[in-house]
Amino acid sequence: MPTTEVLAAGPRPLPMAGLGADFWATQGQNLLFGAIAILAFLAIIALIMFGADLVKGGARDKVQLVVLITPVLALLGVGLIYPALDTTWLSFNEISNEPDPTTGIYTTTMQFVGLDNYRFAFSDPTTLRTILNTFVWMVLVPILSTGIGLAYAVFIDKAKGEKVLKSLVFMPMAISLVGASVIWGNIMYDYNQVGEQTGMLNALRALFGMDPYNFLTDNPWNTFWLIVILVWIQTGFAMVILSAAIKGVPAELNEAASLDGANAWQSFWRITIPSIRSTIVVVLTTITIMALKVYDIVRTVTQGRDQTDVVANKMYVLSFVEGREALGAALAVILFIFVIPVVVYNVRSLNKVKETH
Amino acid sequence: MSVTMPPQHPVDDETPTQGKALPTKRSDKAKERLSSPWATVAAIVIAVFWTIPTIALFMSSLVPGDRYRTDAWWTVMADGALTFENFSHVLFDSFGDNSTAPPLLQYVFNSIVVTVPSVVFPVVLGLMAAYAFAWIPFRGSSFLFVLIFALQVVPLQLALIPLLRLLGPENLGLAGEFSGVWIAHTIFALPLSVFLLHNFVSHIPREVLEAARVDGASHTQVFFRIIIPLSLPAVASLAIFQFLWVWNDLLVSAVFGSAETYPLTYPISNLAGDYGQYAYLVPPAAFISMIIPLIVFFSLQRYFVRGLLAGSTKG
């Protein structure tokens, strides 16, 4: 029941005080710049495409092929493949910035140190803990999201208001990881040592006469409470995709099973699960990759305090805050090593699908 | 991405629609027995657990600053003291850990300027490549496609430092500008964009394209006359997907942006972890940051779901 009285009461600075004199000019300029960039981009693409159409004879197809694929290949080569290789190379080096003994000028030198950065990553307790935490994320997030999503999809299948029920669980997908972190870190998990509990979960505990619990400092469980945030977001994704798969299971199969006297539980395990197995695998892999790369949650909620850090956040801090790029690079490579099995598996299944087409 | 599909796979496009009406009825019967009272209870618990947090965020953002630390929103609500004042303060006055911090409205505009081009660029470039990979045979085509597909899972952390150097002052000088953020977002979105659109474009009936080619249409003409109009559904779902991704992104914007370009997520993330006297500004700001994605989500949910399904279940 919001009241507007507070708004009117008491002197307040002018409501627009925060917007500087040139605020609208700057924002207008930025918006215009964005619009021009889009139009220019589309115009250039169209010009090049139609330019390639003027080519006569047998070369035309080739020129047009080049026009079609070059932007993507060039951007990926320069912006993703080369940087990835460069980072990998950097991870085997040490960067030092020291004054030259004779001239005294600071110079940056790169020295090959082999696996030193990796050795450090796996021996330094903080960094090792970071790697272990990432591993826990990688295992728990996909299992919990897929498990809950599947259960929910089955429970609400063909239920009244299925669409609305789906939207409720799916909605967090639209919320940023930062927003979700605020929701959970600042509101659900909030903890007051004394006085009224403002956090929803601690208020619930108080209702049952339990002591308040500091979710975010209780190592090692705090990592689990952070994981809950990503599960909250990803369950909707798992649910929507698994629900579509369940609806595709041929009705005849369930029909036959029920004629054979199978109960709902049995036909779920013997019919539904095997029929949607491949979809489950896809959902698990997609969420695994997501869980590995997530850095927003840890950065927003704990900044890695109380041993909650993960590789993705640590890598950011090392590279962009502490200036230890080489170690940061090693962590990025470790992150990549975690996904290599997923890449190999997916490429193999893609090839299989291509063969059968 | 899927493997060893059962013969009559659910989301396979090529499953004929014949005989749909009857089986649905029969499956209704088969499914009925699955919904035991316990399943209903469990479903309700999940639904509540997934909804309450967002509602709690909204209610918390209505708590006046002087009571935020001490009183829960339901206590404040019982007193009738909830107020929308925080929203106007955050949007127009100041958002940050001191009163000279710029207002959130600036970041709302930044998010828009960052997001829209970052959606258009990879979708257009991806559609061009998708057409080439799907319909123009050339040497190395399948190798390149598999490579792009595999790049989808490369953590973008692996590319951050060198790409920042490429875009940085020593080279292109675009880091910290909107254009630098657009380029970074475009690059990171391309693998998924090419892959998703390829799945769709390759399902366009062969006869349609061949007829045009026989009539002497060039690749450019086919692209503009056939590929673009027929791919619009896929383009729509990819665009929504990419919109939500960029709007909600923190990492790319934090690395490639600057104080002039930071989107909503950046100041919110900074203030959220600092539980000081300005903590009460975080919930309204977080809620503001969700409004646009939630509108996009609820109004275009169908396309979004379609995009997700295409991205993760089709070979």
Contacts of A200 in chain B (CB under 8 A): 52-53, 56
pLDDT at residue B311, as a whole number = 63
pLDDT at residue A145, as a whole number = 97
Task: Retrieve residue B273's tokens.
Answer: 């972890």
Task: Considering only the beta carbons, identify the residue of B34, B43, B131 that sits closest to A264.
Answer: B34
Q: Are residues A52 and A193 in the same domain?
A: no
Contacts of A289 in chain B (CB under 8 A): 153
Angle value at C-alpha A84, between A328 and B307, nearest 5 degrees: 105
Q: Are residues A185 and A302 in the same domain?
A: yes
Question: Interface pTM (ipTM) of the complex?
Answer: 0.86
Task: Considering only the beta carbons, identify the residue of B93, B223, B224 that sits closest to A17.
Answer: B93
Angle value at C-alpha A220, between A282 and A122, nearest 5 degrees: 75
Buried b (16+ CB within 10 A) or exposed e, B129-163: bbbbbbbbeeeeeeebbebbbbbbbbbbbbbbbbb
Q: What CA–CA distance (Å, rounded) separates A43 from A230? A: 40
- Closest A-chain CA to B29: A255
Which residue, B306, B3, B65, B277, is CA-closest to A348? B3
Q: How far is B233 from chain A (nearest CA, A)?
A: 18
Which residue, A349, A232, A228, is CA-closest to A285? A349
pLDDT at residue B18, as a whole number = 40
Identify the residue among A68, A73, A197, A347 best suited for mutation to test binding to B, counting B beta carbons within 10 A and taking the highest: A68
Where chain B has pLDDT below 50, the residues are: 1-33, 313-315
Which residue, A141, A174, A168, is CA-closest to A153? A168
pLDDT classification of A32: cutoffs 50, 70, 90: very high
Percent of chain B with pLDDT over 70: 87
Is this structure's pTM higher than 0.90?
no
pLDDT at residue B35, as a whole number = 56
Within 10 angstroms of residue A149's Cβ, the number of other Cβ atoms is: 27
Q: Peptide bond preceding A212: is omega within 30 degrees of 0, i.e. cis?
A: no
Task: Retrieve residue B188's tokens.
Answer: 């990171």
Contacts of A254 in chain B (CB under 8 A): 27, 30-31
pLDDT classification of A357: cutoffs 50, 70, 90: low
Q: How far is A125 from chain B (nearest CA, A)?
A: 22
Q: What CA–CA distance (Å, rounded) separates B172 from A93? A: 25
* Domain annotation covers residue A11: no
Per residue, what are the HEC states of chain A?
CCCCHHHHCCCCCCCCCCCCCCHHHHHHHHHHHHHHHHHHHHHHHHHHHHHHHCCCCCHHHHHHHHHHHHHHHHHHHHHHHHHHHHHHHHCCEEEEEEECCCCCCEEEEEEECCCHHHHHHHHCHHHHHHHHHHHHHHHHHHHHHHHHHHHHHHHHCCCCCHHHHHHHHHHHHHCCHHHHHHHHHHHHCCCCCCCCCCCHHHHHHHHCCCCCCCCCCCCCHHHHHHHHHHHHHHHHHHHHHHHHHHHHCCHHHHHHHHHCCCCHHHHHHHHHHHHCHHHHHHHHHHHHHHHHHCCHHHHHHCCCCCCCCCHHHHHHHHHHHCCCHHHHHHHHHHHHHHHHHHHHHHHHHHHHHHHHC
Identify the residue among A38, A86, A163, A182 best suited for mutation to test binding to B, counting B beta carbons within 10 A and taking the highest: A182
Q: Are residues A135 and A264 in the same domain?
A: yes
Query: Is residue A232 pLDDT above 90, yes or no?
Result: yes
Task: Retrieve residue A27's tokens.
Answer: 């924002």
Contacts of A21 in chain B (CB under 8 A): none
Q: Are residues A133 and A83 in the same domain?
A: no
Q: What is the CATH number of the domain that holds A227?
A: 1.10.3720.10
For B231-276, write each residue's pLDDT tens digit.
Answer: 998 899 899 889 999 999 999 999 999 999 999 999 999 998 777 7
Which residue, B267, B291, B292, is CA-closest to B101? B267
pLDDT, average across residues A320-345: 89
Q: Do A198 and B68 touch (CB under 8 A)?
A: yes
Q: How far is A343 from chain B (nearest CA, A)?
A: 6
Q: Do B220 and A50 touch (CB under 8 A)?
A: yes
Q: Are residues A213 and A266 in the same domain?
A: yes
Note the residue count of chain B: 315
Q: Are residues A134 and A43 in the same domain?
A: no
Q: Which domains does chain B have, with CATH numbers?
A: 37-93 (no CATH), 104-313 (1.10.3720.10)
Q: How far is B54 from chain A (nearest CA, A)?
A: 7
* Domain annotation covers residue A261: yes
For B117-164, write each residue's pLDDT tens digit.
Answer: 999 999 999 999 999 999 999 999 999 999 998 888 888 888 998 999
* Domain annotation covers residue A4: no
Task: Considering only the beta carbons, identify the residue of A170, A187, A303 that sits closest to B57.
Answer: A187
User: What letter does residue B273 receive in the DSSP assignment?
Assistant: T
Low-confidence winner among A157-171, A288-302, B38-52, B298-312 (lowest mean pLDDT): B298-312
Higher pLDDT: A223 or A161? It is: A223
Q: Are residues A159 and A79 in the same domain?
A: no
pLDDT, average across residues A74-93: 94
Percent of chain A with pLDDT over 70: 94
Q: How far is A101 from chain B (nearest CA, A)?
A: 26
Contacts of A148 in chain B (CB under 8 A): 46
Q: Are residues A78 and A159 in the same domain?
A: no
Q: How far is A243 from chain B (nearest CA, A)?
A: 10
Contacts of B309 in chain A (CB under 8 A): 240-241, 244
pLDDT at residue B314, as a whole number = 41
Task: Considering only the beta carbons, identify the residue of A65, A159, A169 that sits closest to B50.
Answer: A169
Q: Are residues A84 and A151 in the same domain?
A: no
Task: Considering only the beta carbons, identify the residue of A2, A52, A300 that sits closest to B273.
Answer: A300
pLDDT, average across residues A161-178: 90
Contacts of B301 in chain A (CB under 8 A): 167, 170
Q: Do A283 and B312 touch (CB under 8 A)?
A: yes
Q: How far is A104 from chain B (nearest CA, A)?
A: 23
Task: Considering only the beta carbons, identify the residue of B10, B68, B74 that sits closest to A248.
Answer: B10
Count: domains in chain A: 2
CA A183 to chain centre: 17
Q: Are residues A321 and A242 in the same domain?
A: yes
Q: How far is B208 from chain A (nearest CA, A)?
A: 18
Chain A, chain B: beta-carbon pairs less than 8 Å apart: 458
Q: Are residues A67 and A140 in the same domain?
A: no
Q: What CA–CA distance (Å, rounded) separates A169 from A149? A: 9
Low-confidence winner among A180-184, A240-244, B306-310 (lowest mean pLDDT): B306-310
pLDDT classification of A52: cutoffs 50, 70, 90: very high
Among A41, A71, A90, give the residue marking a domain's end. A90
Q: Do A187 and B273 touch (CB under 8 A)?
A: no
* Domain annotation covers residue A144: yes
Contacts of A192 in chain B (CB under 8 A): 69
- Closest A-chain CA to B307: A241
pLDDT at residue B302, as a whole number = 82
Range of the domain at A67: 30-90
Q: Are residues A174 and A321 in the same domain?
A: yes
* Residue-averaged pLDDT of chain A: 87
pLDDT at residue B34, as a whole number = 52
Among A41, A70, A90, give the residue marking a domain's end. A90
Report phi then psi at A12, rounded to 5: -130, 155
Among A75, A90, A105, give the residue marking a domain's end. A90
Contacts of B53 in chain A (CB under 8 A): 183-184, 187-188, 200, 232
Query: Which residues, 6+ apart, have CB-to-CB distance to A287 below 8 Å?
Result: A141, A142, A145, A146, A234, A237, A238
